[in-house]
């Protein structure tokens, strides 16, 4: 029983309109679900991914209008690492982001930048067997597009405190010094999370001196992908590792459990189905506000609280 890499990464934005513009227009991802935070249905939950809305390429945002800018610190994810296919892709993104006024830093196989609210991103040329997860975009050739997640980097004051849970009970495989693991430079600890379909890296870095502050431009949680039939067993493993997971929560498009790992990062384990096409035609994902059935009676009330936004494809 193995986790199938990263399922999704959820962050916070203060401005849904500019968020859609950056992730759907500039980065070329597809807005695959426009819905609400199921724990606070007065605010958006926006999902961007590849063309099919696949786990492994799904970055999502809660919109809290007017939220102050956050700051990543110990116990928080600070950088989302994406795969690209070539140095030519890095060249393309360096030019495209510069044209949008986004500062970048080029490495030998990587390109680093932040979104308009300060969330860190890295594009990495990664040689992996996984299927590229690509969105169609008129300005981004498919061979140069983002190909899904490669890794997530988090700050941890004592990454060894997390080792028993993540390695012994959740099956994260330690990557030792000298092993081939692009993107591990400067890391305190690196793990590979790989199943039969897909994998990725989980990286701990030494934290900055300043404490973290949740807010716009910070990651709320990271989700790891589980086969549907294994989900309850992962909850039992988390408990055996000393975590205190929630009960299984039905998010309609997937089922979830949540718990904090010892370094403080909020983990979710989410199932690989049913998927975003459970209630929308795959050709029209993200074009309208979709609510899980239990919120449908509140549609008028919910819509009145949300800022109108348009899917660039809609």
What's the pLDDT at 228? 97
Whether the predicted pLDDT of 184 surpasses 80: no
Residue 198 pLDDT exceeds 50: yes
pLDDT at 241: 98
pLDDT at 130 over 80: yes
Percentage of the chain modeled with pLDDT above 70:
96
pLDDT on residue 110: 96
pLDDT average, residue stretch 59-78 = 97
Tens of pLDDT, residue by residue over 95-125, are 999 999 999 999 999 999 999 999 999 999 9
Residue 183 pLDDT level (bands cut at 50, 70, 90)? low
Q: What is the mean pLDDT of the chain?
A: 95
**Predicted pLDDT at 179:** 47
Q: Is the pLDDT of residue 208 over 60?
A: yes
pLDDT digits (tens, 9 = 90+) for 303-313: 999 989 988 87
What SS3 state is found at 95?
helix
Q: Where does residue 118 rank: exposed (0-12), middle (13-18), buried (19+ CB within 10 A)?
A: middle
* Cα three-residue angle 240-246-247, rounded to 5 degrees: 95
The answer for residues whose C-beta is within 8 angstroms of residue 214's C-beta and 6 or more apart is: 12, 70, 76, 220
Q: Which of 182, 188, 195, 171 is nearest to 263 (CA)?
A: 188
In Å, how far are 121, 128, 176 from 103, measured between CA atoms? 12, 28, 32
pLDDT of residue 180: 45
User: Residue 177 above 90 pLDDT?
Assistant: no
* CA 281/CA 284 separation, integer angstroms: 5
- Check whether 185 has a pLDDT greater than 80: no
**List of domains in the chain:** 6-305 (3.10.180.10)
pLDDT in tens, 250-300: 999 999 999 999 999 999 999 999 999 999 999 999 999 999 889 999 999
Q: What is the pLDDT of residues 134-163, one digit of tens each?
A: 999 999 999 999 999 999 999 999 999 999
Q: What is the pLDDT of residues 215-240, one digit of tens each?
A: 999 999 999 999 999 999 999 999 99
Q: Is 0.75 surpassed by the pTM of this model?
A: yes
Instruction: Average the pLDDT over each of 1-10, 182-191, 273-282 and give the range with the smallest value.
Output: 182-191
């Amino acid at each position: 029983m193995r986790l199938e890499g990263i399922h999704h990464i959820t962050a916070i934005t203060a401005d849904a309109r500019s968020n859609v513009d950056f992730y759907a227009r500039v980065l070329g991802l597809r807005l695959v679900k426009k819905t609400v935070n199921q724990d606070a249905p007065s605010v958006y939950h926006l999902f961007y991914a590849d063309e099919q809305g696949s786990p492994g390429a799904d970055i999502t945002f809660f919109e809290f209008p007017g939220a102050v800018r956050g700051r990543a610190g110990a116990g928080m994810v600070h950088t989302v690492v994406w795969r690209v296919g070539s140095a030519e892709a890095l060249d393309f993104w360096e030019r495209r982001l510069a044209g949008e006024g986004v500062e970048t830093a080029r490495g030998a196989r990587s390109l680093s930048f932040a979104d308009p609210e300060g969330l860190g991103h890295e594009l990495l040329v990664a040689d992996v067997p996984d299927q590229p997860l690509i969105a169609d975009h008129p300005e981004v050739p498919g061979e140069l597009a983002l190909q899904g997640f490669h890794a997530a980097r988090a700050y941890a004051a004592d990454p060894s405190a997390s080792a028993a849970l993540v390695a012994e009970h959740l099956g994260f495989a330690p990557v030792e010094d000298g092993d081939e693991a692009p993107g591990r430079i400067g890391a305190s600890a690196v793990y590979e999370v790989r199943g039969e379909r897909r994998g990725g890296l989980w990286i701990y870095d030494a934290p900055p001196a300043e404490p973290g502050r949740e807010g716009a431009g910070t990651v709320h949680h990271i989700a790891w992908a589980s086969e549907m039939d294994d989900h309850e067993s992962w909850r039992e493993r988390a408990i055996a590792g000393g975590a205190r997971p929630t009960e299984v929560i039905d998010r309609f498009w997937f089922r979830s459990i949540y718990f904090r790992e010892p370094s403080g990062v909020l983990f979710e384990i989410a199932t690989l189905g049913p998927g975003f096409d459970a209630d929308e035609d795959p050709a029209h994902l993200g074009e309208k506000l979709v609510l899980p059935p239990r919120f449908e009676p509140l549609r008028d009330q919910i819509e009145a609280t949300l800022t109108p936004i348009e899917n660039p494809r809609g």
